[in-house]
Structure 1
């Protein structure tokens, strides 16, 4: 399965616009430590009516005025993933000829990262974006994607999570309409003390969530759960000695300012899968031609987010070097030790998932192997 999925990720996916070019354009940064580095986000196309939009059906609900939707995102407005989401909202409005208008609320203004999914289910927001890992044990099947499979980049991770969801279609997401999913590049170690060998990590307090916390524990460190928004101050005050995340966090969350070292352990690189979901009742209220139009945009936009993650990783690496931080590469011998240490995370996950969702176990084993 892994081989086939990764092979699929190398083939080009048609885009309405050029997301790769859009994902590489720089955006000015704010000076606030808690503010986010911005990133690439695609621009909407011309405002002319879309001639190729699906044609309304006779039994479709009649829309006498534009449908107004709210979109809750925990990323701040300056962050590249928020910008990509705003561009998606604009594209939906454009392609539906203004029949759907989406107001984006960044920075957790409507619902915070942990409450985002339930907020969509309960109608606090019509659409929401957050991480599966922020709601522990709520999404046991989708957590499979977060395992340390050695993801090379965000585009691959994004395509894997969408392919996995489409194949498995887990019941844990049945109470919402999934727009699309995306996932960041390989999660690495960023610390205040050098970590070149496994014993260096012993008893270090490392910010980590979900399955990444299990990885940190298996490596001999102490996991400390917290959202990204709290990590800067926690590193600054010494509450944690490091964080486990993609290179993106070094600029996107300004964490390069409060760490000194990064350890490139991409061979055990995990990811954090993220959802973009819509309230099911609200989705059902839309005419079929509008649903079809949004679905087309969704199919294009997951890659936009994947490419944005990769551009953000590059920016994070450069920003960290500018801050005179060091990046360590693990030796081949050390890589094997780290891989051996995290095997228990794989086996524990399979045992847990076998009880709850036995039917997907063969698929999960194929992904891991």
Structure 2
């Protein structure tokens, strides 16, 4: 009898162990930011939070610095299952996400938290079909993108003429509208390109000076806030993997996503301050624009917004409605 009892208990224990193992879900997360960057640390902490709140049912293996998929491959990598979750830049897939591209327009952003809230509001309002091949977790966006140069200071719009600056997506259009020549490249490529003189600087937020050490290779910053743009980042999950999660786990992840939207936005602003300090501590110089010069810059980038409306209309979308909602949302947050 004792033997039967021992055997029975062994079977029960094995059964429970098998059930526990079956419930454990392993996912992979790809991100191009280096592990030391605050945005990478937030992505990794999101993974740990998911594991914690699902009581270990979901475990996520995190791959920073483009070690699983590169920045430009990240979205398709999620669609194709090369990674289960991906975090990268929408602008690296130019023309693919027309609705969210409105967020990146040079609307005069003042903070990363503002831009982040705008990006998620635009998605929630229009739920673009372009994202139907993934499960969107959330979006976030950096603080005002400004002009940085390595050799030639830009104090007025005429100084932009002939400058080759790193820029992607809508920021490339900003460079062109201001008289410069945009050169497309991912952020990991930019440091050496500036250092070697391939480009004379770039358009990016203040945080990049420390986060990507760009403050070591540039010397000047033009605080062109009236023409400031942002760049929208996505965090998406493979559609099939999402469907495999239980409703309770999905609900838990959605709750975490809402919290991390704010964390990312606040982190962009905190790191902008750190980036500015890093930039200035290198002995670099930052200067602003007076009212007259600001008006010139704002006027120069205005056609970008008008062209966006026309291009989006051709795709069967209401471009003006998207822009109006984006601007209205931004103004309400400011």
Shift in alpha-carbon separation, 1:360–1:319, aligned structure 2, 3 A: same
**Could you tell me the TM-score, scaled by structure 2's length?**
0.90
Counterpart for residue 88 of structure 2: 130
Cα distance, 1:366 vs structure 2: 4.0
| Higher relative helix content | 2
Matched residue SS, 1:345: helix
Cα distance, 1:365 vs structure 2: 3.0
Cα distance, 1:367 vs structure 2: 2.7
Paired residues, number: 309
Counterpart for residue 307 of structure 2: 348
> Which one has the largest radius of gyration?
2
Cα distance, 1:65 vs structure 2: 3.1
Q: State the Cα deviation string for residues 257-314 of structure 1 (Å, max 9, x = none).
A: 1111000011211000000000000000111111101111011111100111111111
Matched residue SS, 1:177: strand
Cα distance, 1:363 vs structure 2: 3.0
Cα distance, 1:368 vs structure 2: 4.1
Counterpart contact for 2:148–2:201, Cα < 8 Å: yes
Match of 2:148 among 166, 187, 190: 190
Q: State the Cα deviation string for residues 212-244 of structure 1 (Å, max 9, x = none).
A: 100100000000001111111111111111110
Counterpart contact for 2:29–2:85, Cα < 8 Å: yes
Counterpart for residue 129 of structure 2: 171
| Structure 2 Cα separation of the partners of residues 295 and 365 of structure 1 | 28
Q: 1:216 and 2:189 equivalent?
A: no
Match of 1:246 among 205, 210, 227: 205
Matches within 5 A, 1:136-155: 136-155=94-113
Counterpart for residue 54 of structure 2: 96
Counterpart for residue 233 of structure 1: 192
| Structure 1 Cα separation of the partners of residues 245 and 326 of structure 2 | 36
Counterpart for residue 4 of structure 1: none
**Could you tell me the TM-score, scaled by structure 1's length?**
0.82
Q: 1:303 and 2:245 equivalent?
A: no
Counterpart contact for 2:122–2:326, Cα < 8 Å: no
Cα distance, 1:142 vs structure 2: 1.1
Cα distance, 1:337 vs structure 2: 0.2
CA RMSD of superposed structures (Å): 1.4
| Structure 2 Cα separation of the partners of residues 156 and 321 of structure 1 | 25
Q: 1:87 and 2:45 equivalent?
A: yes
| Structure 2 Cα separation of the partners of residues 73 and 103 of structure 1 | 11
Matched residue SS, 2:287: strand
Counterpart for residue 74 of structure 1: 32
Counterpart contact for 1:62–1:287, Cα < 8 Å: no
Counterpart contact for 2:103–2:230, Cα < 8 Å: yes
| Structure 1 Cα separation of the partners of residues 106 and 276 of structure 2 | 21
Matched residue SS, 2:210: helix
Counterpart for residue 287 of structure 1: 246
Q: 1:156 and 2:128 equivalent?
A: no
Cα distance, 1:360 vs structure 2: 5.3
Gaps of 5+ in 2: 1-18, 329-334
Cα distance, 1:62 vs structure 2: 9.7
Counterpart contact for 1:141–1:357, Cα < 8 Å: no
Cα distance, 1:66 vs structure 2: 1.0
